[in-house]
Amino acid sequence: MDIATVKEYLKSYDGPQCTIMEVCGTHTATISQNGIPDMLSDKIRLISGPGCPVCVTVAAYIDRLLELALTQNTTVVTFGDMIRVRGTKLSLSDASAMGASVKTVYSPFEIIELAKADTGRNFVFAAVGFETTAPVYALIIERLINDNIKNVKLLTAIKTMPEAIRTVFAKNGKITGFLAPGHVSIITGYELFLDLAKKLQVPFVVSGFSGEELLLSVYALTKLKGGQALNMYTSVVTTEGNERAKEKLLKYFKITDAPWRGMGIIKNSGMVLKEEYGEFDAGSQNLISDSMYNSACKCADVISGMLSPCECPLFGGVCTPENPQGACMVSAKGACFHHYVNKRL
- What are the residues facing 320 on neighbouring strands? 323
- Stretch of residues binding other proteins (CB under 8 A), selected from 36-44, 65-73, 195-203, 252-260: 36-44
Q: Which of residues 284-343 bind other proteins (CB under 8 A)?
A: 320-322, 332, 340-343
Residue 2 contacts other proteins per CB under 8 A? no
Answer yes or no whether residue 37 interacts with other proteins by CB under 8 A.
yes
Cβ burial, residue 75 (10 Å; 0-12/13-18/19+)? buried
Q: 25 or 262: whose CB is closer to other proteins?
A: 25
Give 151's contacts (C-beta < 8 A, 6+ positions apart): 115, 118, 119, 120, 121, 122, 123
- Name the minimum Å distance from CB 247 to other proteins: 27
Number of residues binding to other proteins, judged by CB under 8 A: 24
Candidates 7, 121, 171, 198; binder of other proteins (CB under 8 A) is 7
**Interaction pattern, residues 97-136, with other proteins; x per rule: CB under 8 A:** ---------x------------------------------
DSSP result, 312-343 = STTBTTTBBTTB-SSHHHHSTT-HHHHHHHT-
- Residue 159: phi and psi, rounded to 5, are -115, 150
* The binder of other proteins chosen from 35, 226, 313, 317 (CB under 8 A): 35
Instruction: Pick the stretch among 28-36, 56-64, 231-239, 277-285 that binds other proteins (CB under 8 A).
Output: 28-36
Closest to other proteins by CB, 22 vs 290, is 22
CB of 163 to other proteins, least distance (A): 28
Per-residue binder mask for other proteins (CB under 8 A), 188-227, x = binder: -----------------------xx--x------------
One residue of 9, 19, 39, 257 binding other proteins per CB under 8 A? 39
Contact 138/251 with Cβ under 8 angstroms? Answer: yes
Q: How many residues does the chain have?
A: 345
**Calpha distance 233→207 (Å, rounded):** 5
- Strand ranges, E, within 251-318: 253-260, 264-273
> In angstroms, what is the minimal distance from the CB of 172 to other proteins?
25
DSSP annotation string for 46-103: EEE-S--TTTT--HHHHHHHHHHHTSTTEEEEE-GGGGG-B-SS-BHHHHHHTT--EE
Q: Which is nearer to other proteins, 255 or 341 (CB)?
A: 341
Q: 328, 337 in Cβ contact below 8 A?
A: yes
Residues 6 or more apart whose CB falls under 8 angstroms from that of 197 comprise 203, 204, 226, 227, 228, 229
* Binding site residues, other proteins, CB under 8 A: 7, 29, 32-39, 106, 211-212, 215, 320-322, 332, 340-345
